[in-house]
Amino acid sequence: MSETLQRLIFYSLAIKSNKKSVLLFDEPESNMFPFYIKDIAERITEDKTNQFFISTHNPYMLGSLLEKSNKNDIAVYIVKMENYQTVAKLCNQKQIEELISLGSGLFFNLDNL
């Protein structure tokens, strides 16, 4: 069984089998074909009973989550190292809209936010 299929089954079952839970997904897009990345993002955004914390380095995952989510239900943090410290910056609504407009190039433009 391919790794993409294994991951698709795992994340789908994690979403379906939990209700009123907090789910932490660390780079759910790893080793997945892009079509299925969007599928997982849609499953996450359609689930209204769970809260998700997702870390990603993938523009398709973040873009799909931003496009499909209710803008009042999503928070985006940009995390980076500055002076040997981890700094997390919460994006405001305007910055989230700018991320959506950047498409697949959004990770190359984070310093401009």
| Residue type at 33 in one-letter notation | F
Q: What is the 3-state secondary structure (H, E, C) of the chain?
A: CCHHHHHHHHHHHHHHCCCCCEEEEECCCCCCCHHHHHHHHHHHHHCCCCEEEEECCCHHHHHHHHHHCCHHHCCCEEEEEECCEEEEEECCHHHHHHHHHHHHHHHHCHHHC
Domain of 43 in residue numbering reads as: 3-112
Q: What is the pTM of this model?
A: 0.84
Q: What is the structure's pLDDT at 101?
A: 85
Tally of structural domains, the chain: 1
pLDDT, tens digit, for every residue of 80-107?
A: 899 999 999 999 999 888 888 887 777 7
> In 3D, which of 61, 56, 62 has the Cα closest to residue 33?
61
pLDDT at 1 over 80: no
Q: What is the structure's pLDDT at 110?
A: 72
The whole-chain average pLDDT of the chain stands at 90
pLDDT, tens digit, for every residue of 45-82?
A: 999 999 999 999 888 899 899 988 988 899 999 998 99
